Amino acid sequence: MTDDWSSALLTDRYELTMLQAALRSGAAHRRTVFEMFARSLPNGRRYGVVAGTGRFLDALRRFRFDTDTLDYLADARIVDDDTLRWLADYRFTGDIWGYGEGDCYFPGSPILSVEGTFAESVILETIALSIYNHDCAIASAASRMVTAAGERPLIEMGSRRTQEMAAVAAARTAYLCGFSSTSNLRAGHLYGVPTAGTSAHAFTLLHDNERHAFESQLEALGSGTALLVDTFDVDRAVRCALELAGPELGGVRLDSGDLAMTAARVRKLLDEHEAFDTRIVVTGDLDEYAIQALAVAPVDGYGVGTALVTGSGEPTVSLVYKLVARARGTEPGTPLEPVAKRSVGKPSRGGRKWSVRRLDDDGTATAEVVYDAEPEPEPLARPLMRRLVAGGEIVGDEPLDDARERHARSLRELPATAQRMSRGEPAIPTHFEQRSHT
């Protein structure tokens, strides 16, 4: 994939067929507002995490219908010539507001609000949902894992368990939510995520014996490396590692068996050899529940793979992108009118929305409040919407570390019930209040 790739075809065909029909009817140029939100949190979780904003803005920047893209659409007869001419000049010229990346969200939170003509806004639906549904799912799982780990660091290592570019996005998102590093070098290159990694069982099996493998790794990477000690016999491997590296051995990794019991035995062996600073890192199909169960074990860090890149059993958060307001005509200044679905089980709330998080005197969140007009500043209420795009210009870019810090602050703001791993209601309720008619 080249650096100048177009994101315009990362979409569903019906976005462009709707565009063609709207151009025919004349409604394509009506001003509209689309909103992205979740009707519920998955699997009884107590909060969600907004992630993917930086990737969405980058995709929007690349959302251009170049010659190759237009040729494909023409040859495949996806849309007619009038639509092709319109797409050739496509640039989003509207405004986008959204929750800050890393912030927490709840059912009904207007995570993203896209205001522009119907034509330029509707064709962003699939790319927005594709990015946010994936990254929010990873973030919501990663955040819970970080909570379960406490002060112990986590390494993201799920690249071999998902699609190659999804692995990069997952590594970025895990770091955003508090993971300390990733095994994925592309994520390190693109996003500056710290990388980590040493060896797999294949490295041990390659050599004539375990001692030779350890000697080779120590010679190449230094005594601060972590040796994988469960290829054969764990106790024997730890003793061998200590004979070769002494108490300066950086760490040992356990990847199988009863991790809590084995870690206790290994810690005892290390301490008997005065290797008090040698870390024990555990890996092997860990999720937030397994990490929490290891809280009392003498473990110094975790490596998480499959559960992280699959959202710990919830690979999507079911965000939707719905038209909530539109103008009756195309003339400038025509007021927006609320519109809403009434489908059974899938209703939406009409009208442009703004949100704040109400806090108590201690700074703990008590409610998510969604208004139908921009609210006046009020004490003990934190505004949640920030401008991402203004008049077509991307203004919401920020360093990944800023989103990482925002997530840590947002999580500290939630009540203690948010930290529970058990199924339950959202940590705070969402209230919808009217301001425009008062």
382, with CB counted inside 10 A (0-12, 13-18, 19+), is: middle
Whether 3 is covered by a domain: the verdict is: no
Phi, psi at 372, each rounded to 5°: -95, 10
Same-domain status, 113 and 173: no
Same-domain status, 134 and 176: no
Q: Give the integer Cα–Cα distance in Å for 153 and 211.
A: 28
Same-domain status, 88 and 69: yes
Same-domain status, 364 and 421: yes
Whether 7 is covered by a domain: the verdict is: no
- Examine the fold and report which residue of 288, 310, 332 is the final residue of a domain before the chain moves on: 310
Whether 354 is covered by a domain: the verdict is: yes
- Examine the fold and report which residue of 252, 285, 310 is the final residue of a domain before the chain moves on: 310
Q: What is the pLDDT of residue 120?
A: 97
Q: What is the pLDDT of residue 47?
A: 98
Whether 8 is covered by a domain: the verdict is: no
Determine the structural domain holding residue 280 and report its residue range: 147-310
User: By C-alpha distance, which of 86, 72, 89 is closest to 19?
Assistant: 86
Same-domain status, 172 and 127: no
Same-domain status, 193 and 263: yes
Q: What is the pLDDT of residue 5?
A: 86
Q: Over the stretch 204-216, which tens digit does the pLDDT of each residue have?
A: 999 999 999 999 9
Q: Give the integer Cα–Cα distance in Å for 228 and 297.
A: 18
Domain CATH number, residue 351: 3.20.140.10
Whether 107 is covered by a domain: the verdict is: yes
Same-domain status, 22 and 79: yes
Q: Give the integer Cα–Cα distance in Å for 180 and 196.
A: 9
Q: Over the stretch 239-272, which tens digit does the pLDDT of each residue have?
A: 999 999 999 999 999 999 999 999 999 999 999 9
Domain CATH number, residue 291: 3.20.20.70
**Phi-psi sector, 311: left (phi>0), alpha (psi -120 to 50), beta:** left
Same-domain status, 284 and 207: yes
Q: Over the stretch 72-95, which tens digit does the pLDDT of each residue have?
A: 999 999 999 999 999 999 999 999
pLDDT bucket at 372, cuts 50 / 70 / 90? very high
Same-domain status, 79 and 208: no
pLDDT bucket at 289, cuts 50 / 70 / 90? very high
Whether 201 is covered by a domain: the verdict is: yes
**381-383/95-99 β-pairing:** unpaired
- Examine the fold and report which residue of 267, 288, 310 is the final residue of a domain before the chain moves on: 310
Q: Which structure tokens are listed for 45? A: 């979780």
The structural domain count of the chain equals 2
Same-domain status, 330 and 296: no
Q: What H or E segment, with its residue span, contains residue 116?
A: strand 112-117
Same-domain status, 117 and 216: no
Whether 2 is covered by a domain: the verdict is: no
Q: Give the integer Cα–Cα distance in Å for 204 and 210.
A: 6
Same-domain status, 135 and 154: no
Whether 5 is covered by a domain: the verdict is: no
Judged against a pLDDT cut of 90, whether residue 49 lies above it is answered with yes
